[in-house]
Chains A and B, each alone.
Chain A
Amino acid sequence: METDNLLRQIFSIPLDENKYLIYAPLKGIAFIGNVSLVNSIFEQCRSSGALWKTENLDFLHQLNFFLPEPFPVDEYKQSGTQYDAVILFLTNQCNLRCSYCYASSGEYPRKTMSWEIARDAIDYVMESVRLHNAPVMTLGFHGGGEPTLNWNILTRSVDYARCLADKNRVPLQVSGSFNGYWSRKILKYILNNFTELSLSFDGLPEVQNLQRPAMGNKESYPRVAETLHALDGADFPYGIRMTITNDTVDRLAESVAFICDNFHPQKIQVEPAFAEGRAIENHSLIKDIRVFIDQFMRAYSIAEKQKVTLFYSGARLNALTTRFCLAACRAFVVTTEGDVTTCFETYGREHPAGPRFFVGTYTGNGGFEINTEKRQKHFSRTVDEIPFCQNCYCKWHCAGDCEIKTTAASGDGFQPSRCLINQELIKYLILDKIKQNGGLLWVNHHQ
């Protein structure tokens, strides 16, 4: 059993003729060896008890390379779903017209979340927080539109959540995903009432203006840049989310350099455009992923020099997890119309995958009705349950990737459209770590 466990924890990744990247993710150890070394390690793993020593490889024993590690445990399996975050999709409207918008925001008839739904969602989660003694409650804003366009509900929600949190003596975090195309008034409110933010921003002014124009095809860069400068000036913690399309993939590194030079985000998340909404009709999908990989690694190097964390969600080298997303575990995500969803991308009933991920609905009587069986099905999705991923060195880094992006429209079958990107980036990130650590061996001391 132990032997099997050990063999399932060490991977050999072909690099070139007779060269393999040998990687033990749970130990955080990686180095490059020849075929003979791979086979020797294989034999050592299979030999129970007998220590096989080669003078040159003593260091592997010193690192306890041949002792199996416990597999990552899903901490939520025992506890089940316990909400401590309420995420509200306030509106389907937007003051930008991003070329790749997954929600085709602004094109549908206007929908906004009512105060009753927002209030009752906050109550629902506060009740869960009290029941499970959660250390903190989070109020977040997301969805297929710009949350600040439902300003009244946003501010009322913040005030109400703060009031409840104070009464129950629970710390409150307020965050959200926004476009930053704000007036002074909104900016001041955010600075004074939020604890952190994610801003969607695509970098170079020409890229931002091309991919994220304001309504009427106006340039959005000046105002968003002003927002970012204001956040920097206030030392406000925020992250930037960049979407990469086929039109601008060859400027990814330049855009990251631009961001690092001019702004101070804590982190930058880079994601390729996904085939949804306007991304389909605008052909936003990247045609040659090798360009994306090349540019990402250049950008990674640039960001690292400037001490900014750059990451892509499918290649999180420092993460060891069985779950890609916590939407079904901790976040109570409510759409504009009051549907409870287990996916941040299912913005509303117009989304073709909506019915698959909606697990509950607002009853109108001050509560929500949840289909617990359906929720449990999403809740149970961990990488251990995905046969495709079992022999892959990325499994604990991407954890099977995003469910909506990797399952067929019908919900059956695993369609790993981003697998190659995940594998290549993890591989290059490991090689980069080896290089940075002297060129021979990488040991991740964080694990």
Chain B
Amino acid sequence: MKVPRFQMQRIYSDGSKEEPKIYKIRDIQTDWRMGRRGFLLTSAIGTGVLSSCATTTIPPQTPQNERTGSCTEEINAHTGIVQSVRFSPDGRLLASGSSDNTIKLWEMPAGKLLKTLEAGKSIINSVCFSPDGKLLASGFSDSIKLWEISTGKLITTLKRNWSAVKSVCFSPDNKYIASGLTDNTIKLWEVPTEKLIITDTLARRTNFEKWEVPPGNLIYTLEGHSKTVNSVCFSPDGKLLASGSDDNSIKLWEMPAGKLFKTLKKHKYDVYSVCFSPDSMQLASGSLDDTIKLWDIPSGKLIKTLKGQSERINSVCFSADGKLIASGSDNNIIEVWELPTGKLLLSLKGNSNYNYIKSVDFSPDGRFLVSGFRDYTIKLWEMPSGKFITCLFDPAALERGKKANQYTVTNEYGQVITFTMPCGSPLPPGAICTCDCVPGTLYVAPPKSRTSTFCTCDKICTCVPIK
């Protein structure tokens, strides 16, 4: 190899007679495979000296394909992988848990961010609303936390050992929380009750606590699986608890006794997700073996195996009417199946390149399907058409210095949906600009005409008509 000679020295070449220039890298293409010659040729270099990066051109808008959920880059809900998404029982809220250590609550279907719950340094693996919609349980890499929805207040932390919590689920009667753990067990916890408790009275002031947390509220531990328990789910009638594990099996436990009822062993590899049908008569399971299996309850008999293009099924869920099953997979595909035929109805894709779906959930009214992705996005789809609607957006998840704008559109159901685009994007007719170019600054300006308008981003975002 040649001896390196990079020390500063005079260079004799044709370029030596020009004026000295500093080059700016506007956009470095991350194709590191290019050689030195090609490296900068395809990146947008502007010659300029300490020039700013302002541009007056409107960047091209990514077309939104009904069957491909392509959000414009950086329109993210989180700054980490979206591990779990769950609608509230009334469908008005969505909770999302992420590896960015936050849980976010979104108003649905508008997609407006309501609250961010900071969870410390732990990854959130699972979120679940209580049946009465008042509490949110979140499973972390080291504990379970319970939050009060109305205030966003942390009520209690359940922690008994160092095992990571992979899945949490409330019982239908609101009394228990089941958790699946990496120590191969399932733990059942008592849910705090809502009760005004006087905690102390000092100097004419009485302090109240709204939630009574029972001491030692671990009820019992279910042992039987030989590997990590990835998913737990109560049947809607409350009689059974299903658990899916890395030991390739599903176990059904009688509730609340905690007695093992049945073991289902047809999957070839790890079971990542289990979900009961609304009538408690069927169980769906998703697995590393790329299949979804439907089981008859309580016989445990395998009814059907569904196999599409998906690889490694991370999440399965039933629609509220029990007529559809959705699955999210590692190869970036959401598949929606019709029941009882098992016919594949829809195949929905996210953005490509190292993307996968960790969690899917139907809205209680069956009109929407939500999906949490590895690329930090949460995508909303219309059901049963499969039309892609929008990505949920949190301005705090934008990279520093980036800007975005938002507008709302009223859909055919009369629901107001919020869309987010990079600053300067054109808006469709009828859209109302709710720009938030500078995070924290909101300016609402109705369009001056029914023709297209676009948002500019300066210090204050305004909507002006295109001439």
Chain B residues, Cβ within 8 Å of A435: 25, 28
Q: Are A254 and B15 in contact (CB under 8 A)?
A: no
Q: Which of A32-46 contact B (CB under 8 A)?
A: 32-42, 45
Q: Which residue of A lies closest to B288 (CB)?
A: A205
Residues of chain A lying within 8 A (CB to CB) of residue B30: 297-298, 301
Residue B54 at the chain A interface, CB threshold 8 Å: no
Residue pair A19, B40 in contact (C-beta under 8 Å) = yes
Residue from the list A20, A419, A439 in contact with B24, Cβ < 8 A: A439
A439 and B21 contact, CB distance less than 8 A: no
Instruction: Name A36's contact: one of B18, B23, B32, B123 (CB within 8 Å).
Output: B18
A391 engages B3 (CB within 8 Å): yes
Over the window 35-74 of chain B, the binary record of Cβ atoms lying under 8 Å from chain A Cβ atoms (1 yes, 0 no) is 0111111000000011001000000000000000000000
B6 close to A393 (CB less than 8 A): yes
Question: 1/0 per residue A424-444: CB within 8 Å of B?
Answer: 000010011011001111000
Given A15-B39, A15-B40, A37-B20; A389-B8 close (CB under 8 Å): no
Interface SS majority for chain B: loop
Q: Does B167 contact A (CB under 8 A)?
A: no
Q: B199 at the A/B interface (Cβ < 8 Å)?
A: no
Our pick among A42, A293, A296, A297 for the contact of B8 (Cβ within 8 Å) is A42
Q: Answer whether residue B10 sits at the interface, using C-beta atoms and an 8 A cutoff.
A: yes
Chain A residue with Cβ nearest B400: A436
Contact size class for A? 35 or more
Q: A35-B15, A440-B24 are in contact. Are A12 and B9 (CB under 8 A)?
A: yes
Most chain A beta-carbon contacts within 10 A, residue among B13, B41, B79, B227: B13
Closest Cβ of chain A to B43, distance in Å, is: 9
Q: Shortest Cβ distance from A430 into chain B, in angstroms?
A: 11
Q: A36-B16, A56-B50, A294-B32 are in contact. Are A226 and B8 (CB under 8 A)?
A: no
Cβ contacts under 8 Å, A59 to chain B: 50
Q: Name the A residues within 8 Å of B50 (CB-CB).
A: 56, 59, 440
Contact of A8 with B by CB under 8 A: yes
Given contacts A11-B6, A233-B163, contact A440 B13 (CB under 8 A): no
B5 to chain A: which residues have CB within 8 Å?
391
| B40 and A389 form a contact (CB under 8 A) | no
Q: Say yes or no: A428 contacts B80, CB within 8 Å.
A: no
The DSSP consensus for interface residues of chain A is helix
A42-B33 Cα distance, complex, nearest whole Å: 31
Q: Are B32 and A16 in contact (CB under 8 A)?
A: no
User: Roughly how many angstroms separate A222 CA and B270 CA in the complex, as a whole number?
Assistant: 11
What is the CB-to-nearest-CB distance from B70 to chain A, in angstroms, rounded to a whole number?
19
Number of chain B residues whose Cβ lies closer than 8 Å to a Cβ of chain A:
55
Tell me whether A33 and B141 are in contact in the complex, defined as CB-CB below 8 angstroms, given that A229-B182, A261-B99 are known contacts: no
CB <8 Å contact, B25 and A32 = yes
| A7–B9 CA distance with the chains assembled, in angstroms | 8
In the assembled complex, which residues on chain B have CB atoms less than 8 Å from the CB atom of A32?
Answer: 22-25, 40
Across the interface, do B17 and A36 meet the contact criterion of CB distance under 8 Å?
yes
Let me know if A333 is at the binding interface, CB within 8 A.
no
B162 CB within 8 Å of chain A = yes
Whose C-beta in chain B lies nearest to the C-beta of A424? B32
B346: shortest Cβ distance to chain A, in Å? 26
Interface flag for B228 (CB, 8 Å): yes
Which A residues lie within 8 Å of B3 (CB)?
388, 391
Contact of A261 among B9, B11, B79, B374 (CB under 8 A): B374
- Please tell me if the beta carbons of A389 and B4 are within 8 angstroms of each other in the complex: yes
The reply to whether B4 and A306 form a contact with Cβ atoms under 8 Å apart is no
B31 interfacial contact with A, CB 8 Å: yes
Say how far B141's CB is from chain A's closest CB, in angstroms: 5
Q: Does B413 touch A at the CB level, under 8 Å?
A: no
Compute how far the CA of A229 lies from the CA of B182 in the bound complex, rounded to whole angstroms.
8
CA distance A19 to B45 in the complex (A): 11
- Contact across chains for A229 and B164 when beta carbons are under 8 A apart: yes
Q: Tell me if B23 and A19 are in contact (CB < 8 A).
A: yes
A441 CA to B142 CA, complexed, in Å: 42
Which residue of chain B has the shortest Cβ distance to A256 in the bound complex?
B354
Q: Are B10 and A222 touching (Cβ within 8 A)? A: no
- Chain B CB within 8 A of A257 CB: yes
- Is A397 in the interface zone, CB < 8 Å from B? no
Which one of B32, B36, B49, B121 has the greatest number of beta carbons of chain A within 10 Å?
B32
- A39, A57, A233, A261, most chain B CB atoms within 10 A: A233
In the bound complex, how far is the Cα of B123 from the Cα of A37, in angstroms?
Answer: 49
Tell me, rounded to whole Å, the shortest Cβ–Cβ distance linking B157 to chain A: 14
Q: Which of B149-206 contact A (CB under 8 A)?
A: 162-164, 182
Contacts of A222 in B (CB 8 A): 227, 246
Is A78 part of the binding interface, using a Cβ–Cβ cutoff of 8 Å?
no
Q: In the complex, what distance in Å separates the CA atom of A254 from the CA atom of B123?
A: 20
Given A294-B31, A301-B30, A428-B32, output 20 extra A-B contacts at Cβ < 8 Å.
A8-B7, A10-B7, A10-B8, A15-B39, A19-B40, A32-B24, A32-B40, A36-B19, A36-B21, A37-B20, A38-B11, A226-B182, A230-B163, A233-B141, A234-B162, A389-B4, A420-B1, A435-B25, A439-B25, A440-B50
Residue ranges of B at the interface with A (Cβ–Cβ < 8 Å): 1, 3-11, 13-26, 28, 30-33, 36-41, 49-50, 53, 79-81, 99, 121, 123, 141-142, 162-164, 182, 227-228, 246, 354, 374
8 nearest A-B residue pairs (beta carbon): A35-B15, A392-B4, A37-B20, A18-B15, A10-B8, A294-B32, A391-B7, A11-B6
Residue pairs across A and B with Cβ atoms less than 8 A apart, 15 shown, are A7-B7, A7-B8, A13-B6, A18-B15, A36-B18, A37-B21, A38-B10, A56-B20, A57-B22, A59-B50, A264-B123, A290-B32, A428-B32, A435-B25, A438-B53
